[in-house]
Chain A
């Protein structure tokens, strides 16, 4: 029986680890890891700023409310209204784009997807890589292409920040070893690797490559927060709950020992 129990435990742990590793890995596109810190309010606020300025003009976040974002991210209401609310007057409104879906479809060929849950559909690392993998491509209708999502209809909305980059070719990931995206050089003409592709900066943007990477990490963090706003307090409540349950279990063990004292 002991051997069977050991076997069962081994099987359960193997399958749990194996299957979750598989589910996390997904379909195996090369993506860059992103460092997110959900308690870094400044980072999330910067992400929110980038989101309403660069994303919300085409994409909605139609399950998310302005005032909830402000409350969760410690943004004062007046600041929210002045700097972040461009699509509505009411702070309790959902974050919907003003671009009509019909027109969007006509212009881009596809309605830009809602981004409320994008970080739960795509993994944060995927988003972080995708946002940095746009390059100039004269052959595509928008003049832009993306090495992670080939022929995506979306143009490079953030080019004024990143600048314009050119695709050099596929990177040889084995010889490069693990990629440290933040170690990229600032100079024009220097090559850098995003995902599995080598890019060369042709025109600099408002931000240096390192600053842009940081900004995209902030935006990715914000999208992750928005996919599950409850995560900010979920873990805190969890710690108290589990601590309570451990005490409860110890008390139950003592209680059981007391009741069972006369069982021989």
Chain B
């Protein structure tokens, strides 16, 4: 429903003309909503983009109300949260919406990312959309991590202590850097105050800016679809895609169904299961921060646990396994790989450096490196994926098998990260860590083998 001036009432028309001369209101509306064309076969997976924006708005709106009563002070913070939960009218609702909203935000973001992977939305020409999205993911993790300190519960305190101490392993500057971030020798009032500042000002600003860039980049190249084909390959006489519908009203109205369904789940948890069985609100966090009393198991919230598992899996035996893997890769390079001699020498040099690092580096240092690498891998996806088709619907079997393995490993890592380690669990985490990285490392190979199905020329859609 594009705005055409002759449609409108005369005075409204005159007003819009006045505005449009000074600000491109109608132009922006048309380009990004009324005439932005999206494929008509968007399915379930396409709800999560708009839901992510919804969650950003919910978190900002509830966050504003929480800051009206929250006190960023080590002496007062915990009590002020309980004040919100008890004495502020509907404060409990706002606080639950925010705390559980953080988890729901990650649910939405993970599903949104998964959509990208299965339909090839990260591939050319949408690499920048994906990269900006990855930066959003990292910024969101920082936002969540800092927000988790604010209730000043015992798990807030010890979780922050454990994660911040990871910076210690950075050579030379690590301990000084950690102290600089904390503003003290331990997690303290100074840390709480700066985390509050970052959580309510810096990172929300960054997130909003990044989301804007994400959308600008998306609208430059257009949305992908479940068939992974370009809807502009089939256009009518006006140059409009035959398989496209205008974002407003078609996709917006459709997304409303997703919003309502999502709210049923989200508010269902808020009203009937706010603790999430101790996963969404951890029981140790209902006791105030106590530097003298370490909780029995320090675990991060579920959305960090896959990476936390990878961190903990890094023991001497994993490093030994990685040494062997490095050796095998070098052997394969010289015996089988079809690359130039210079490349072989260069890769061997690199492998020797990694090998030396694995021999002389500590398990903790490698844990931090692997944990960071686990997230960096997402950034590389557009270039690791070599499949001739985008959508999983037409992809070869090896890709589907590899993705299934990755999913299983990711979930097992997530589960193990919530549990105290045992020798058996650590071994399982190590196997899953290898699967996790193998998925990315072998992707150029398994996406280029196997038989892909032919892509259709038009999107798959049946009118209801």
Contact = CB atoms under 8 A, between A and B. Distances in A.
A52 B278 CA distance: 29
A121 B85 contact: no
A168 interface: no
Interface string A200-213: 00000000000000
Contacts of A12: 411
A23 B118 CA distance: 32
B286 interface: yes
B19 interface: no
Interface residues of A, number: 54
B278 A245 contact: no
Contacts of A259: 249-250, 253
B86 A19 contact: no
B304 interface: no
Interface stretch (A134-142, A214-222, A233-241): A233-241
Given A20-B278, A238-B267, A255-B256, A117 B464 contact: no
B418 interface: yes
B71 to A, nearest CB: 14
A249 B277 contact: no
Interface stretch (B258-266, B312-320, B328-336): B258-266
Interface stretch (A2-10, A36-44, A83-91, A171-179): A2-10
Contact of B86 (A22, A65, A123, A264): A65
A84 B404 CA distance: 61
A3 B400 contact: yes
Interface in B258-295: 259-261, 263-264, 267-268, 270-272, 274-279, 282-284, 286-287
A256 B279 contact: no
A1 interface: yes
A150 B234 CA distance: 76
Given A121-B286, A241-B267, A11 B419 contact: no
B408 A64 contact: no
B85 A230 contact: yes
Given A8-B114, A234-B92, A229 B257 contact: no
A100 interface: no
A236 to B, nearest CB: 9
A168 B37 CA distance: 77
A116 B82 CA distance: 9
Interface in B401-443: 403-404, 407-408, 411, 414-415, 418-419
A188 interface: no
B418 A22 contact: yes
Interface of B is mostly: helix
B392 interface: yes
Given A4-B392, A11-B408, A259-B249, A245 B263 contact: yes
Nearest to B256: A252
Given A4-B392, A249-B260, A18 B86 contact: no
A183 interface: no
Contacts of B257: 249, 252-253, 256
A245 B258 CA distance: 11
A252 B86 contact: no
Contacts of A239: 271
Contacts of B411: 11-12, 14-15
Nearest to A20: B277
B272 A235 contact: yes
Nearest to A255: B253
Contact of A263 (B40, B85, B263): B40
A24 to B, nearest CB: 5
B167 interface: no
A74 interface: no
Interface string A103-118: 0000000000000110
B83 interface: yes
B239 interface: no
Interface in B296-319: 296, 302
Contacts of B296: 27
B245 interface: yes
B254 interface: yes
Contact of B82 (A18, A117, A256): A117
B302 A19 contact: yes
Interface string B37-60: 000100000000000000000000
B79 interface: yes
Contacts of A235: 271-272
B463 interface: yes
B87 interface: yes
A11 B260 contact: no
Nearest to B408: A11
A78 interface: no
Nearest to A260: B250
B286 A227 contact: yes
B364 interface: no
A227 B283 CA distance: 11
A237 B272 CA distance: 10
Contact of A256 (B92, B253, B272, B407): B253
Interface of B: 40, 79, 82-83, 85-87, 92-93, 114, 118, 245, 249-250, 253-254, 256-257, 259-261, 263-264, 267-268, 270-272, 274-279, 282-284, 286-287, 296, 302, 392-393, 400, 403-404, 407-408, 411, 414-415, 418-419, 463-464
Q: What are the 6 closest A-B residue pairs judged by CB atoms, nearest first? A: A238-B271, A20-B277, A23-B278, A249-B260, A230-B92, A63-B82
27 contacts: A1-B118, A4-B407, A7-B407, A7-B408, A19-B302, A23-B278, A63-B85, A68-B87, A117-B286, A120-B283, A121-B283, A227-B286, A228-B92, A230-B86, A234-B274, A235-B271, A237-B93, A238-B267, A238-B272, A241-B271, A242-B267, A245-B263, A245-B267, A246-B264, A252-B257, A255-B256, A256-B253
Given A64-B86, A259-B253, 6 more contacts: A1-B118, A22-B418, A23-B418, A68-B86, A245-B263, A260-B254
